[in-house]
Structure 1
Amino acid sequence: MTILETVFLVIFWAWVLSAALFLRNTLLPRLPISRTPEQFNLHAETVRFRATDGLLLEGWKLSGEPSHPWIVLCHGVGSNRSDLLEIGAGLSERGFNLFLFDFRGHGGSDGRATSFGWQEQRDLEGVLAFLGQETDVSAKPYGVYGISMGGSVALMVAARDERIGAVAADSPYTNLDESIGRHRALMYPFLPKIPFHWFLRSTYRLRFGVWPQQVSPEEGARQLSRCPLLLIQGAEDPRMPREGAERMFTSAARPKELWIVEGAAHLEGYAVNPQAYLRRLGQFFEASLER
């Protein structure tokens, strides 16, 4: 075997390993709906609707006072809508109407794989279209609260959709390319950045038709000229470091707020101080959405 053939085989098998690891992480176990609205004294209607690319999704519609604002809650990767019920209950107590749903490949929604934020934008667009057709839903702009991937999706959709009137994003990534690189280092520290990050980037492009650098909540935040933004960030988050949130906040259009939760790792802001979290979140939406 020549040196050239050896190099080719090393590169080939490195790419195969990268592709296998990446694609495995797009096919996450589907967690069951572990909690119900009734457990939080909430009355919900289970609804089925379609993403803008036709995929069938499932959610809960929690109607209260018709004239009050609606808030859409978006979960993170490997989760589902039931994980946001506790925060949703806190927002409901403040008079908001709520819509919780499962992204594709999660909970009760169709689909198998997650794209970590690219195709999921079609899901949130489908929510907005569904709410727009409901006769008991006010035509006023909606608030969107999202965690991790859910917050990232909210930022990207809000940048181009005037139906969203305010975004609260807890621990979004800056862009997907950086997030993939960071998770590679955390999950597979034995894989060197070169060449494996390039292989992961290329695999994403082949699988989803877009480069991960193009999936950019940071760019979305920069374009929110008319939409108030609340960024929530754990000070000790190894997956979405505070430096990224600070950079995103600096580049974001006004009006904007940044809340660094001391002592919190990834998505631990609520657990650190539930009362303070709900108060800050509720006050933001009350100030940002027309009643």
Structure 2
Amino acid sequence: MKKFAKIVRFLFSFLLFLSSFGVFITNRMMYIKKKDDETILNRETSSGRFRPEDFQDVPRKDVTVPSPFGYHLKVILVEPHQTNRYMVISHGVTENKVNSIKYMKLFLERGFNVAIYDHRRHGESGGKTTSYGYYEKFDLKAIVHWLKNEKGSDILLGIHGESMGAATMLLYAGAVEDGADFYISDCAFSDFSEQISYLLKKDIKVPPKLVLPLTNTFLRIRERYSLHDISPISFVHNIKHPVLFIHSKKDDYILPAMTEALYEKKKGPKKLFLAENGAHAQSLNENKEDYEAAIDSFLQEFIFSKKPSNE
């Protein structure tokens, strides 16, 4: 009996350890520490990428779009142009819509009106957890539908995403609906399981095979999805509309090989730009002229020469 009791206590302790670790690791993911909003604003202002005076007289509208999951998404629609060209900008994890302003300026200069927004649990949007594109892709769908309902289903619509925002965009286009006319994917991960495995080995020195199965189990229990559901490369072949893939060659957080793999898997119209300089999500900041040239070339080849728009 004593031996049996020891076995029972051991099993109970082991299960308690697994449960505690499963909750811990999924908490780290679901409630990832975000950058402070003031820190983001100061960073973008001090770098010159955001100047409040540039937008004082620009026609803009603050909008609240309901998420299908019961919270609200904060959107800013900037419309200085009499046109049917619109862009939606999808920011990366831990950031907010202020980080999207540098991309907004880029497309405003090219005659687009632009919508920037906060992902769930970021900035001024609601939502309790971050899901790295799984639930975010349905929020993006809600924003696209709101914009088309407001401006007409025939608008020329593009979506630009950075990092998690790019993965969200690719999941939206490949797994939910190919609802835009074109997409620009800047430093997306191709598969979240692979990304987590890479970071575990690189930064924490923990064997992924010990962590990922437990993480998947607890994500299914707590959030009703698994890491395998966050895999843009599993869906990118479904995207019919043109995609411009961008990545910095020096990115050691999400490796450029992930974008190259996405590019290879994508069928139909596509283009690839690998920036020479910059760490993760710094391709525009460190290669501005080349970045803009890549976008201009992509738009001219696949968009402006194919589909007329109202000026």
Q: In the TM superposition, what is the alpha-carbon distance from 1:149 to its structure 2 partner?
A: 0.8
1:1-291 maps to which residues of 2 (within 5 A)?
2=6, 5-6=9-10, 9-10=13-14, 12-27=16-31, 28-29=33-34, 31-32=36-37, 34=41, 38-41=52-55, 42-135=58-151, 139-159=154-174, 160-189=176-205, 191-224=206-239, 226-289=240-303, 290=307, 291=309
Report SS of the residue matched to 2:277: coil
For 2:285, the aligned partner's letter is: A
Q: In the TM superposition, what is the alpha-carbon distance from 1:140 to its structure 2 partner?
A: 2.5
Q: Deviations over 1:23-81 (max 9, x none)?
A: 13322346326267744334421111112333211011011334341110000100011
For 1:53, the aligned partner's letter is: F
Question: Hey, what's the Cα distance between the residues in 1 that align with 2:271 and 2:8?
Answer: 55
Q: Deviations over 1:176-200 (max 9, x none)?
A: 22222223334432x3323222212
For 1:94, the aligned partner's letter is: R
For 2:25, the aligned partner's letter is: L
Q: In the TM superposition, what is the alpha-carbon distance from 1:115 to its structure 2 partner?
A: 0.8
Q: Which has the higher contact order (CA 8 A, sep 6+)?
A: 1
Aligned residues: 288
Q: Percent identity?
A: 21
Question: Hey, what's the Cα distance between the residues in 2 that align with 1:228 and 1:61?
Answer: 24
Q: In the TM superposition, what is the alpha-carbon distance from 1:206 to its structure 2 partner?
A: 1.9
Report SS of the residue matched to 1:264: coil
Q: In the TM superposition, what is the alpha-carbon distance from 1:8 to its structure 2 partner?
A: 5.8
Q: In the TM superposition, what is the alpha-carbon distance from 1:233 to its structure 2 partner?
A: 1.2
Q: In the TM superposition, what is the alpha-carbon distance from 1:258 to its structure 2 partner?
A: 1.4
- Structure 1 residues 234, 106: closer, same or farther in 2, change over 3 A? same
For 1:196, the aligned partner's letter is: V
Q: Deviations over 1:104-149 (max 9, x none)?
A: 10011111211111010121011111102214x5623410000011
Question: Hey, what's the Cα distance between the residues in 2 that align with 1:3 and 1:239?
Answer: 43
Report SS of the residue matched to 1:164: coil
Q: Deviations over 1:233-266 (max 9, x none)?
A: 1212222212222222111112111111123321
List alignment gaps of at least 5 residues for structure 1. Answer: none
- Structure 1 residues 269, 66: closer, same or farther in 2, change over 3 A? same
Question: Hey, what's the Cα distance between the residues in 1 that align with 2:292 and 2:54?
Answer: 15
TM-score by structure 1 length? 0.89
Q: Deviations over 1:165-218 (max 9, x none)?
A: 1110011111222222223334432x3323222212222222221221122211
Question: Hey, what's the Cα distance between the residues in 2 that align with 1:163 and 1:192?
Answer: 39
Question: Hey, what's the Cα distance between the residues in 1 that align with 2:217 and 2:105?
Answer: 41
Q: In the TM superposition, what is the alpha-carbon distance from 1:164 to its structure 2 partner?
A: 0.8
Matched-pair contact (CA < 8 Å) for 2:87–2:112: yes
Question: Hey, what's the Cα distance between the residues in 1 that align with 2:165 and 2:255?
Answer: 17
Question: Hey, what's the Cα distance between the residues in 1 that align with 2:26 and 2:12?
Answer: 21
Matched-pair contact (CA < 8 Å) for 1:75–1:150: yes
Structure label with greater radius of gyration: 2
Question: Hey, what's the Cα distance between the residues in 2 that align with 1:204 and 1:185?
Answer: 21
